[in-house]
Structure 1
Amino acid sequence: MSALPGRLGQVRRDGGLPHRDDLPLVFDELDYQMACQVYIWALPLVSYAQWQKVHREVFGATESDIVHYVTYRDRLGLITANATTPYILNFFDLNDTGPLVIELPPGPTAGGLSDFWQREIGVMGEMGPDAGSGGRHLVIPPGATVPDAADGFYLQRATGMNIMFGFRTLDADPARAQELVDKVRVYPFAERTDPPVTRVVSPQGRPWSGDQPRGLDYWVRLHDIYQREVVDERDRFYTAMLATLGIEKGKSFAPDSRLTTILETASAAGELMAQANTFAKRFPGSTYWADRHWDLVLALDNSSQRAQFHDQLLERAAWFYEAVSFSAAMKSTTPGLGQAYLSCYTDSDDRWLDGAESYTLHVPADPPAKLFWSVTVYDTDTRCLVDNDQQRGDRGSRDDDLAYNDDGSVDLHFGPTAPAGRESNWIQTIPGEHWFSYFRLYGPLESYFDRSWKLDDIVRSS
């Protein structure tokens, strides 16, 4: 038998079997490998659980509140946040609330619900059943019956006990948009006759992080959310692995020193695998143009995360390591509707993008966006907006000071210092930190879908 890697290479043989004294080495390796796979499987669940914890413990948001992210600093903990439009959302535990009422006012809003596996379970606002006319939505927990007196509600059936409700205002006037936000109500159905006040909570510039925690904290967060969630049939083999790793329903999490070491090592190895799976995608069709370094960032086929013969485990891990939430609009194939997302992690010479170097991106004339386009810079370590002195991480067609070339094209610049005379087109990067970029098209047009319009590579200047 050929030599085996890692711990298994140290195992002695006894008549073709592992030596009895070396069985602990075999079991250590088995537990480590299971922990690496569980890490990858749990990425979307732990991501939302961490963000929920921030809402409760850092922002003080309750089950009746919504959190409004407006400023650049507000969004610095939000994985691959859009830097141009506000976010309004909160996380709700239906174990605590029971059936939950969400009231949206009439007006231009777009929003929806997702479970903690980040599967979209309901659409609201202009794209929802109320078509922008407003209304009351009743979220029913898994296994619960529709309560009496539910007439007049739009029914939304949750697929998990924890949900995220989020929306955006589509009114360009800030005052009218704020009026819509202030009219949203969230409260338990049982308290509908005298509902608590729904507060609009602000991060107020407080430091926070919504990315998955590292080390043993990853498993602590996973244990906590597992206690408060239902188990999908598709996940029962993974929950069997959880049991072996000391995470079980109704039991405390108290790993001994051996298991703690394995879990801490596996979370580091799992993140390394997640980084490779995300920043060097190997899914068929990931590269959008064969001669460019821009990827289709979102490899998931649909919100169910289900392909014909399998569930999209690695595609899901790639997206939810670097991003949060999924909606059908992100996968639009209809010109003029939804959004398109492209990602770039390397320069034209296939080198990681380095915060100490200077780069240029040439955006050809007439980017195929009905509404607007933008380019955003993110830190690879946090997957959040770059926390630079500018407090600005994007440039795009909505920027009045953007300088255009005579032919209508745009040259954008990235680096630690601004190129002379091109400050308006510059995004500051940070030496010692790597970065990546998203190119977003809002209302992508036909020349994007047929690939006749091409975005250039990011070119290193030095």
Structure 2
Amino acid sequence: MLTKRNLLRSATMIVAGAAIARPSLSMAQNYPGIIEARDIAQEGFIYGLPLVMNYAIMYEYAVDRNSGQFKAPFNQIKNEPNVYTYKDTAIVTPNSDTPYSFVWLDLRAEPVVLSVPAIDPKRYYSVMLCDGNTYNFGYIGTRATGSDAGDYMVVGPDWKGDTPAGIKQVFRSSTQFSLAGYRTQLFGPDDLDNVKEVQAGYKAQMLSAYLKQTPPPAAPTIDFPKIDKELVKTNFFDYLDFALQFGPAQGNEKEIRAKLARIGIGPGKSFDFKDLPLEHKLEIGLGMKAGQRKVDEAVATAGKAINGWRISGLPGDSAHYNGDWLKRAVAAQAGIYGNDPEEATYPYTRVDNKGQTLDGSKHNYTITFPAGQLPPVNSFWSVTMYDGKSQLLIKNPIDRYLINSPMLPGMKKNEDGSLTLYIQKDSPGADKEANWLPAPDDTIYLVMRLYWPKTEAPSILPAGEGTWQPPAVVAQ
């Protein structure tokens, strides 16, 4: 099964036992020198990492019915009846605040119409549209479009049809496959039936069905290549090659795609990457490793360090990245399918107030919000615990993966009105257990989520420059 950072780590390995292929005349004439090829591989790995990560998740969720993570076929909604737990492993740093719903969209034959019901304005929800380039190309939901019912159309990169009456807004994906990720707020365990009722009102239908017309011819059947952590070791650029065919090159992609074509990847290539001689594959492997190191370093220093937390506005649309492939790779590795900062901002940390690595096997920790200084949001906030190595939720004795603002009525405040969270592997005692966030017996990765952060002071926005700052994690 493909999980967590195994994909990222194993993607930097190239098989050393490949057969030595005889270069064709075309390859000999067009192939760059080994050093240049290594540099292209480094740049290409950074450019391609989000695309390959996205493909791996799409394969598990919408293609491979035996993956253990399969949700539903393309263009069908899968409503998750519960929040995510340690058993959910396909996506790193998943939230456990909002039951998810998913629709993987195949936009090749015709657009898809997404319909949402009227939802109580007090209940936050969002539908994030994220394409195969990992661009957030649109939002439906409480912040973006309000709480009224509505029909919205998602179209592929080449769609040229008319907008039917009744469609509130059209969203254009830059790729032929994309994801609609729904987040529906859960106020507590006893609220689950209400969330399920909301989810039952989410609908996805092909445009022809929406218009009650005869559908166009079906798109060709695709033989999706199997992907897992072992296959990525040898086939990273093969997967990138496959993914590129479903997204026409945007203006800022032409240069990197031309470089990739020179080493046999993507449209316009004059030979297949798999035909490269062994020495070239090994040099490209070194380039990939260098690319992964660069991404790792950039993740560790992304945004601005405030009280040990990193705060950055990483995710966004195509214009937001503007051809900064490293920024896009960092956003994917730090937490693929993250929201735009205006929708949700995510301070994260691996260190305490003294810069020491958070480790539940060595220390207990606290986070104290001073009186009147809880995270400023229009919706809700949370602090979620992850395993420091895998970035997945951790199994724990009380099945608690986060502390969030809906839990505040049951929590205990200090005499001065401040709120202390206890971050540790063992219970802090019955009197403090309401404020306990269980930690692993190992390294810790903490993510704070501010859903629909306030824009007026105090605010975390602009990300890293706002007037509100998260309090430090303090070792006890």
Check whether TM > 0.5.
yes
Q: Which amino acid aligns with 1:280?
A: T
Q: Where does residue 429 of structure 1 map in the other structure?
A: 439
CA distance in structure 2 between the partners assigned to 1:293 and 1:89 by the alignment: 34
Equivalent residues, number: 404
Q: Where does residue 230 of structure 1 map in the other structure?
A: 248
CA distance in structure 1 between the partners assigned to 2:155 and 2:230 by the alignment: 28
Q: Which amino acid aligns with 1:261?
A: L
- Tell me if structure 2 keeps the 8 A contact 1:362–1:455: no
Moved more, 137-146 or 445-454: 445-454
Q: Where does residue 94 of structure 1 map in the other structure?
A: 107
CA distance in structure 2 between the partners assigned to 1:163 and 1:71 by the alignment: 22
* Correspondence list, 1:166-181, <5 A: 166-170=181-185, 172=187, 173-181=191-199
Per-residue deviation at 1:339? 3.6
The answer as to 2:106 corresponding to 1:123 is: no
CA distance in structure 1 between the partners assigned to 2:400 and 2:90 by the alignment: 14
Per-residue deviation at 1:85? 1.3
**1:216–1:121 Cα change, 3 Å:** same
The answer as to 2:387 corresponding to 1:358 is: no
Deviations 1:395-423 (A, max 9, x none): 23333553332223233333443344444
Deviations 1:363-394 (A, max 9, x none): 22331434433211223433333355654332
CA distance in structure 2 between the partners assigned to 1:213 and 1:88 by the alignment: 28
**1:269–1:177 Cα change, 3 Å:** same
Deviations 1:37-84 (A, max 9, x none): 212122332222221111121315212312334233364432222221
SS in 1 for 2:91: coil
* Correspondence list, 1:194-213, <5 A: none
**1:418–1:372 Cα change, 3 Å:** same
CA distance in structure 2 between the partners assigned to 1:84 and 1:275 by the alignment: 27
CA distance in structure 2 between the partners assigned to 1:254 and 1:62 by the alignment: 30
CA distance in structure 1 between the partners assigned to 2:400 and 2:234 by the alignment: 33
The answer as to 2:382 corresponding to 1:379 is: no
Q: Which amino acid aligns with 1:117?
A: N
Q: Where does residue 35 of structure 1 map in the other structure?
A: 41
Deviations 1:226-257 (A, max 9, x none): 12221112112211232233323387652543
CA distance in structure 1 between the partners assigned to 2:261 and 2:183 by the alignment: 40
Q: CA RMSD in A?
A: 3.4
CA distance in structure 1 between the partners assigned to 2:36 and 2:449 by the alignment: 42
Alignment match of 1:82 (pick from 95, 101, 126): 95
SS in 2 for 1:254: helix
CA distance in structure 2 between the partners assigned to 1:214 and 1:460 by the alignment: 39
CA distance in structure 1 between the partners assigned to 2:319 and 2:364 by the alignment: 36
Q: Which amino acid aligns with 2:341?
A: K
Deviations 1:64-120 (A, max 9, x none): 31233423336443222222111112222322x422222223335432423222223
Q: Where does residue 66 of structure 1 map in the other structure?
A: 77
The answer as to 2:365 corresponding to 1:349 is: no
Q: Where does residue 271 of structure 1 map in the other structure?
A: 292
- Tell me if structure 1 keeps the 8 A contact 2:50–2:329: yes
SS in 2 for 1:54: helix
* Correspondence list, 1:400-439, <5 A: 401-421=410-430, 422-431=432-441, 433-439=442-448
Per-residue deviation at 1:146? 0.9
Q: Where does residue 220 of structure 2 map in the other structure?
A: none
The answer as to 2:201 corresponding to 1:183 is: yes
CA distance in structure 2 between the partners assigned to 1:394 and 1:181 by the alignment: 22
- Tell me if structure 1 keeps the 8 A contact 2:352–2:473: yes
**1:62–1:443 Cα change, 3 Å:** closer
- Tell me if structure 2 keeps the 8 A contact 1:140–1:146: no
- Tell me if structure 2 keeps the 8 A contact 1:79–1:384: yes
- Tell me if structure 1 keeps the 8 A contact 2:131–2:178: yes
Q: Which amino acid aligns with 2:317?
A: S
Structure 2 unaligned residues grouped into runs of 5+: 1-31, 216-226
Q: Where does residue 321 of structure 1 map in the other structure?
A: 333
SS in 2 for 1:247: coil
Q: Where does residue 282 of structure 2 map in the other structure?
A: 261
**1:188–1:274 Cα change, 3 Å:** same
CA distance in structure 1 between the partners assigned to 2:423 and 2:183 by the alignment: 29
CA distance in structure 1 between the partners assigned to 2:443 and 2:37 by the alignment: 32
**1:458–1:159 Cα change, 3 Å:** same
Alignment match of 2:178 (pick from 140, 147, 163): 163
The answer as to 2:384 corresponding to 1:369 is: no
**1:413–1:326 Cα change, 3 Å:** closer
CA distance in structure 1 between the partners assigned to 2:230 and 2:79 by the alignment: 21
Moved more, 114-123 or 211-220: 211-220
**1:150–1:372 Cα change, 3 Å:** closer
CA distance in structure 1 between the partners assigned to 2:111 and 2:61 by the alignment: 21
CA distance in structure 2 between the partners assigned to 1:85 and 1:359 by the alignment: 28
SS in 2 for 1:271: helix
Structure 1 unaligned residues grouped into runs of 5+: 1-25, 197-208, 333-337
Q: Which amino acid aligns with 1:151?
A: A
CA distance in structure 2 between the partners assigned to 1:380 and 1:217 by the alignment: 27
Compute the TM-score of the two structures, normalised by the length of structure 2: 0.74
Per-residue deviation at 1:322? 1.0
CA distance in structure 2 between the partners assigned to 1:352 and 1:242 by the alignment: 38
Alignment match of 1:280 (pick from 301, 307, 323): 301
SS in 2 for 1:241: helix
Compute the TM-score of the two structures, normalised by the length of structure 1: 0.76
Alignment match of 1:340 (pick from 345, 368, 387): 345
- Tell me if structure 1 keeps the 8 A contact 2:97–2:186: no
Which structure's relative contact order is higher, taking Cα pairs within 8 Å and 6+ residues apart? 2
The answer as to 2:310 corresponding to 1:295 is: yes
Q: Which amino acid aligns with 2:73?
A: T
Moved more, 174-183 or 86-95: 174-183
**1:103–1:246 Cα change, 3 Å:** same
**1:368–1:391 Cα change, 3 Å:** closer
SS in 1 for 2:94: coil
CA distance in structure 2 between the partners assigned to 1:355 and 1:31 by the alignment: 43
**1:448–1:138 Cα change, 3 Å:** closer
Moved more, 401-410 or 448-457: 448-457
